[in-house]
Amino acid sequence: MSSCIAAVQSALAVVMGFLWEPLSLLSPGWQLVVVSVVFGIIMVLAYGRVSNQAAIKRVKEQIGASLLEVVLFRRDVRISLAAQFSLLLAGVRYFLLAMAPVLILAVPFALILGHVNLRLGARPLTPGEEAILAVSVKKGSDLRQIQLSAPEEISVVGPVRVPKTSSLYWRIQPRQDGAFPLKLSSGAQAEVDESVVSGSAHETPAAGIFLSTSDWPSQILFPNGGGGQALTAAPFEMIELSYPQREYAFAGVSMSWITAFLVVSILAGYAGSRVFGISV
């Protein structure tokens, strides 16, 4: 499963890199707005293609008729109860008709959102800012053999070894702007090369590091730039370094990228459904 996801994510990384190139001239905030609007419109168009539009329109008309019946005959208990029961059945049918295409579209959109998160969800470390590098290895591995090498531009404290969970933790702190290599080694068995990015918060956001041998849901959500999701260097099982979350301000309100993305994409999708005549 991990190798399949790695192949898909690598292909998506190439496609997303090509599509994202025109947006590189914009600030991250405007990138988020443009991507949210485009995503919302594409989402509603895809929904219109995979959903049963005729059935959805019929059930929505039935819901409207039942609601009107409840209001008009609210003093007649028998008719009102029958209308409410019909409204309940229509609501269940609408839910089933709507959920089927949502489930179909969930996987491809989750893959795409993972790559959007790489570009908009985090910012690089700033000089002097700390981050935690977490490493998990196979049970029974000698934690004393795991070593981290870093250039002098990176201050490294640790590791803290936790034998119970076969984990190690380093505190790293870049001293200046730039991309600096890190090398994890386990004696003569294996080596893993990654890098730490430090720079202005207004520069292109850093992807962070997430490599795993088996955690395929996280490989979908955190594709690590499309490379190395299938961690094959024994005894390493997971390597993770999270960058600070980027905050966006809209109308004086600070929020994460996913909150702003959902609000803007839903509004764009609703507007698109009205323009293209798609029932949602």
Please provide the DSSP assignment of 185-205 as one string: EETTS-EEEEEEEE--TTSPP
pLDDT of the residue at 55: 87
Q: pLDDT exceeding 90 applies to what percent of the chain?
A: 7
Instruction: Return d(Cα 246, Cα 181) in angstroms, integer.
Output: 23
Beta-bridge partner residues of 245: 122
Kindly list the strands in the beta sheet with 146-149, ordered across the sheet, starting from the edge strand earlier in the chain: 146-149, 178-186, 191-198
Digit-coded pLDDT (tens) for 247-280: 888 777 888 888 888 889 999 988 988 888 888 7
pLDDT tier, 41 (very low <50, low <70, confident <90, very high otherwise): very high
pLDDT of the residue at 227: 46
pTM of the complete model: 0.74
Which tokens hold the place of 32? 């988020």
Phi (first) and psi of residue 86, to 5 degrees: -65, -35
Chain CA centroid to CA 212, Å? 16
pLDDT of the residue at 170: 92
pLDDT of the residue at 79: 84
pLDDT of the residue at 228: 45
For the cut 50, the answer to whether the pLDDT of residue 226 exceeds it is no
pLDDT of the residue at 207: 61
Kindly list the strands in the beta sheet with 209-212, ordered across the sheet, starting from the edge strand earlier in the chain: 154-162, 167-174, 131-137, 236-241, 209-212
pLDDT of the residue at 203: 57
Digit-coded pLDDT (tens) for 75-114: 878 888 888 888 889 889 988 888 888 888 887 888 888 8
* Residue 178 CB burial class (10 angstroms; 0-12, 13-18, ≥19): middle
Instruction: Return d(Cα 224, Cα 206) in angstroms, integer.
Output: 10
> Is 244 within 8 Å of 216 (Cβ atoms)?
no
Mean pLDDT of 219-223: 71
Which tokens hold the place of 29? 């905030």
Query: What is the rounded radius of gyration, in angstroms, for the C-alpha atoms of the chain?
Result: 25
Phi (first) and psi of residue 202, to 5 degrees: -90, -5
Residues in the chain: 280
Mean pLDDT of 190-199: 73
- Within 13 Å and on the Cβ side, how many CA atoms surround 32? 26
SS3 label, residue 271 = helix
Digit-coded pLDDT (tens) for 145-192: 888 888 888 888 989 999 988 899 999 888 888 888 888 888 766 677
SS3 label, residue 105 = helix
- Can you give the residue ranges of every domain in the chain? 2-121+251-276, 131-244
